[in-house]
Amino acid sequence: MKLKIETGLLVESITLLSKLLHEAQVNISKDGLEIIEMDAANVALAVFQLPGTSCIEWQQPITEEKEKIGLNMANFVTILRRAKSAEWISLETKDNVVHISLGPNRKFTLPILDLDRTKETKVPPLTFSARVTRKTADIQDALEDIKIVSESFALIAKKDHLDIIGEGDSQSARIESTEGIEMLRDVEKVRAKYSVEYLEKMIKPSISEDVVLEFAQDYPIKISFQNPKYKLMYIVAPRVDND
């Protein structure tokens, strides 16, 4: 396998994924490059898909079989972040090693890890009750406000109204919005609670100007970024109160 990719399509997205994933299996097929991986705590699923049509060059044997490449994400990102914006990044697998080129002159290698994935990770079928489309920077700011008072936050959606609420022992924060809210099912209100720490690792304006949040009552949240050249998505389990 050999592929050549624009720097901007790989560095930011893989850097973001590395905040959640210590190791990841990269699947290469005739359709493109794909990562579908759970974090070590089984709280969040990360999905990154880069079609072959988005690459500068794509050389992959035409076969139904996927080439599976296990990588240490921190080591991978350390190399990718050395790429200059005007350069391209080339990946080639050979003899159980990934050869990484940054432009024509700088070359690195990483070992391919045997991650022993006995079962293929798949995106679960989910049905959501509310969808919120907002500026990524606005959601990032809201998380910064919430973490002053709490490690978790509640999303409460009603028709044309969204509250993001954090509550500590003696403090609280509330961010209100009336923009970009769509109720997907015939319900009056939807409420679910999530970890600030997890979403902070995912919500970055450098990935996309807009982010889509889909959720339901006490249900996982789907976080999708709008990019015409690749797909980046997360699914995060809800926080459940024990009281």
DSSP string, 17-68: HHTT-SEEEEEEETTEEEEEEE-TTSSEEEEEEEEGGGSSEEE----SSPEE
Question: What is the pLDDT at residue 31?
Answer: 82
CA–CA gap between residue 60 and residue 53 (Å, rounded): 12
Considering the domain boundaries, does residue 120 fall inside one? no
pTM of the model: 0.92
Considering the domain boundaries, does residue 142 fall inside one? yes
97 & 171 share domain: no
Q: Which conformational region is residue 82 in: left (phi greater than 0), alpha (psi within -120 to 50 degrees), or beta?
A: alpha
Q: What distances in angstroms separate CA 85 from CA 80, 81, 159, one per listed residue?
A: 11, 10, 43
Question: What is the pLDDT at residue 62?
Answer: 53
Considering the domain boundaries, does residue 183 fall inside one? yes
The domain in which residue 207 lies consists of 130-236
191: domain CATH number?
3.70.10.10
Residue ranges of the chain whose pLDDT lies below 50: 243
Considering the domain boundaries, does residue 84 fall inside one? yes
Considering the domain boundaries, does residue 122 fall inside one? no
Question: What is the pLDDT at residue 154?
Answer: 97
Length of the chain: 243
Number of domain units in the chain: 2
92: domain CATH number?
3.10.150.10
101 & 167 share domain: no
149 & 213 share domain: yes
Q: Which residue, of 111, 141, 171, is where some domain finishes?
A: 111
Could you report the per-residue pLDDT of 83-131, keeping only the tens digit for each?
998 889 999 988 889 999 999 999 999 999 988 776 788 999 999 999 9
Strand partners, 234: 46, 223
Question: What is the pLDDT at residue 243?
Answer: 46
Considering the domain boundaries, does residue 171 fall inside one? yes
232 & 196 share domain: yes
DSSP for 80-131, please give it: HTT--TTSEEEEEEETTEEEEEETTTEEEEEEPB-----S---PPP---SEE
Question: What is the pLDDT at residue 227?
Answer: 83
Question: What is the pLDDT at residue 65?
Answer: 74
Considering the domain boundaries, does residue 78 fall inside one? yes
Considering the domain boundaries, does residue 134 fall inside one? yes
Q: 225: Cβ–Cβ under 8 A, 6 or more apart, which residues?
A: 136, 207, 208, 210, 211, 212, 231, 232, 233
Could you report the per-residue pLDDT of 175-191, keeping only the tens digit for each?
999 989 999 999 999 99
